[in-house]
Structure 1
Amino acid sequence: MALQNGTADRVTEFIITGLDDIEHPKAVGTVILVVYSLILLGSLTNICFIALDQRLHTPMYFFICTLAAVDILYTSSVSIVLLNILLGEVKRVPYGPCVAQLLVFHLGSTMEPFAIALMAYDRLIAISNPLRYHSILTKTRILVLTIIAWMLGFTCSGLVAGIVNRLPYCHSNTLKYSFCEYAALVRVACVNPDDYFLLASIISSFVLFGNFVLIAFSYLKIILAVLKISSTADRKKMFSTCSSHLIVVACFFIPKFVLIIITRIGLVLTLSSRNGLIIGSTLGPSLVNPFVYCLRTKELRSRLLKIFSKQSVIPSE
């Protein structure tokens, strides 16, 4: 798998044509704009609520903030490009910004499962060792775990971006995908893509399946801990504390596994279908996450209700 740095002399920009067959680009762009705005609104609201309330400065809410920040990073890398194409009708992306967008996108796609796995670990400690919760999840340990997750994310995304940056693009600069991603740039390069897809599969398997195994193991231990509780009411209370996180897990991993299964069984998707699935699996979970935690977490929900109740009060004359 030889790498050559021939990009600087041959390619200065890429032309994205993966969205050309959309019949109503303005309408689709407007929908994406609304979804992206809701993601920013929900994620920033959660971050602000948690940052401004000292009572919420706990490990669980720190991890919620981390997930919200990742959601903003992840969706921004894709949405801005899509909006430029669909609403701004700008299909040309300079080489440098294209690789930078690829780096941020894959950083977000790597950090999302890491953030969800950290939240599963938090729930495991809270249920299996409630009396030692704060002694186990100290500020130092939380910081170390978060730094390690970000370091792994930057390592994986940096490796992917570094490989792409050294590929020779001598035949075409037209990307038949919806934005700059690893598969799009590898397919347009003058190399045999199979070797490079094998490397990407190894990295994605480590990130996706590794974190899923950690999450599954955490919930297995949670179930065993809950089954030891004799009170039915306490059991329901314990499971209810995990319900929000389980929704987040399902929204992220199910679309990813569906794409993998479709690929493994040999079902050939059209580029339009693939682009739609990629965009949906990126924006969908990030849209659900902030509203799940804002509406299903008691403290965040009460803060939101207080704001709306204050706004609804009409001062007497």
Structure 2
Amino acid sequence: MSPTSNLYNVSSQLSLEGYDLPSDRAIIAFVFAALNYMIILFCNSFLLFTIIRNKALHHPMHILLVNLPINDLIGATALFPHIMKELLFDTRTISFSTCISQAFFIHVYAVAVVFILTAMAYDRYIAICQPLRYNIIMSNSHLMKIISLVWLSNWVLMIVLFILLLRLPRCRSYLSNTYCDNPSLLQLVCADTTINNIYGLIITAICQVVTVGLILFTYLQILIACFRNKSTDTRSKALQTCGTHFIIFLLFECLGLFTIFSYRIKDISPHLRKFSGVAAMIIPPTLNPIIYGLKTKEIRVNALKLFQRKVYAS
């Protein structure tokens, strides 16, 4: 057997960097993670069920909103079971195929968040700045085109990203991260990753320019329309809705971009990178159903009615 074949004869099991917590703190962290996961599952599932079940909520804004809990469930399920297993058993190992699947769905989740929030910002822009043309512009056919564009473009970009990754030979089995993602998997490769790096930077740049550009434009137009509106109540409602939306977007953007660039900064603390990466996967799915569910009057009222029906029926 040649030296080259020995070089690439690596284990199908990958080793992960652990959280390095004492057993008592690991149990506390496991309980916290399990509770957080259950809250995410319940709140996002209930929000999804409420919108689907109530025909009164079948408007463009709420149909776009349906995509957010679906995506949150994808991201949380890709990460939380793995975190809980690692905290409980301290295994620090994962099969290569499972790692690829986890990384793929984590990246699908991350890109979908900004795409969905951008689509929702566009919807609010039409509703506030062009209210008389809202039903014409946000027709069912146009709405389906927006949703298809959000998901199809996301999946195509990620499939190409991981095809480029899987074509490369692997000669290492240790991931310098607590979960799997594309930058960590690229560190296992002993070959030229220039094409992968260029593609990753290009899609990151394009996604950022398109999403951030559209959101800044729509929010600027919304602010102008709000200050021109003489109705104080209408202005405050619009600013409250858009303000919370923008905070979620900004929070995810900061955490996500910091995580991406942390792999390219050698002197950065690995603990800080772990925290930002996990926080980007935990905070938005926890806050989204609260902000877009409980703070939206139509959803809150219909959710309470649905909950009361279930209680009385039992």
Q: What RMSD, in angstroms, separates the aligned Cα atoms of the two structures?
A: 2.7
Aligned-partner residue type, residue 224 of structure 1: I
The answer for the alignment partner of 1:12 in structure 2 is: 12
Residue 193 of structure 1 deviates from its aligned partner by 5.2
Q: Secondary structure at the match of 1:10?
A: coil
CA distance in 1, matches of 2:102, 2:311: 42
Contact 1:252 1:281 in 2 (8 A): yes
1:110/1:153 contact within 8 Å kept: yes
Q: Which residue of 1 aligns with 2:230?
A: 230
Work out the CA distance in 1 between the residues paired with 2:62 and 2:205: 28
Can you list the C-alpha shifts for 1:186-244, whole angstroms capped at 9, x where unaligned? 11211355664343222222223421111111111112222322333332233234234
SS in 2 for 1:15: strand
2 CA distance for matches of 1:202 and 1:163? 14
After superposition, give the CA deviation of every residue in 1:258-286 in whole Å (9 maximum; x if it has no partner): 5567778x583222221111001111111
The AA in structure 1 aligned to 2:186 is V
Residue 298 (structure 1) aligns with: 297
Question: What is the rounded CA distance, in whole Å, between the counterparts of 1:181 and 1:133 in structure 2?
Answer: 40
Report the equivalent of 2:52: 51
Write the distance in 1 (CA, Å) between the matches of 2:147 and 2:8: 36
Q: Taking structure 1 as reference, are residues 76 and 209 closer, same or farther at Cα in structure 2, changes over 3 Å only?
A: farther
Q: C-alpha displacement at 1:74, in angstroms?
A: 1.5
Change in CA separation of 1:209 and 1:15 when aligned onto 2, cut-off 3 Å: same
Moved more, 126-135 or 225-234: 225-234
State which drifts further: 116-125 or 186-195.
186-195
Q: Hey, what does 2:191 align to over in structure 1?
A: 191
State the AA in 1 paired with 2:212.
F
Q: Deviations over 1:43-86 (max 9, x none)?
A: 11111110110000001111111011111111211112212211
Distance 1:40 1:78 in 2: 13
Q: Distance in 2 between matches of 1:281 and 1:119?
A: 20
Alignment of 1:117-136 (within 5 A): 117-136=118-137
Q: Distance in 2 between the 1:73 and 1:302 partners?
A: 27
Residue 35 of structure 1: CA displacement?
1.3
The 1:192–1:49 alpha-carbon spacing in structure 2 relative to 1, beyond 3 Å, is same
Counterpart-to-counterpart distance in 2, 1:60 and 1:251: 22
Percent identical among aligned pairs is: 24
Is the CA contact 2:14–2:174 (under 8 Å) kept in the aligned structure 1?
yes
Instruction: Give 3-state SS (helix, strand or coil) of 2:20's partner.
Output: coil
Determine the structure 2 residue equivalent to 1:218. Answer: 218
Task: State the alpha-carbon separation in 2 of the partners of residues 242 and 288 from structure 1.
Answer: 15
SS at match of 2:187: helix
Letter of the 1:149 counterpart:
V
Distance 1:32 1:124 in 2: 37
TM-score, length-scaled by structure 1: 0.87
2:247 corresponds to: 247
The aligned counterpart of 2:287 is 288
Pairing of 1:1-317 with structure 2 (within 5 A): 10-16=10-16, 18-23=17-22, 24-170=25-171, 172-192=172-192, 196-259=196-259, 268-306=267-305
Measured in 2, the distance between the counterparts of 1:274 and 1:212 equals 23
Alignment partner of 1:167: what SS?
coil
Q: 1 CA distance for matches of 2:212 and 2:278? A: 21
Secondary structure at the counterpart of residue 177 of structure 2: coil
Output the CA distance in 2 between the equivalents of 1:278 and 1:49. 30
CA gap of 1:20–1:219, structure 2 versus 1, over 3 A, is closer
User: How many Å separate the matches in 2 of 1:299 and 1:39?
Assistant: 21
Task: Check the 8 A contact 1:111/1:153 in 2, yes or no.
Answer: yes
* Uncovered stretches (5+) of structure 1, i.e. residues with no partner: none
**C-alpha separation in 1, matches of 2:307 and 2:145:** 37
User: What's the CA shift for 1:25?
Assistant: 2.3
Instruction: Tell me how far apart the structure 2 counterparts of residues 204 and 13 of structure 1 sit (CA, whole Å).
Output: 29
Query: Which stretch shows the higher mean deviation, 303-312 or 56-65?
Result: 303-312
Which consecutive segments of 4 or more residues in structure 1 shift more than 4 A?
Answer: 5-9, 192-195, 257-264, 307-313
The change in CA–CA distance for 1:6 and 1:211 in structure 2 (over 3 A counts) is: farther
Distance 1:94 1:7 in 2: 19
Tell me, in whole angstroms, the C-alpha distance in 2 between the residues paired with 1:36 and 1:193: 35
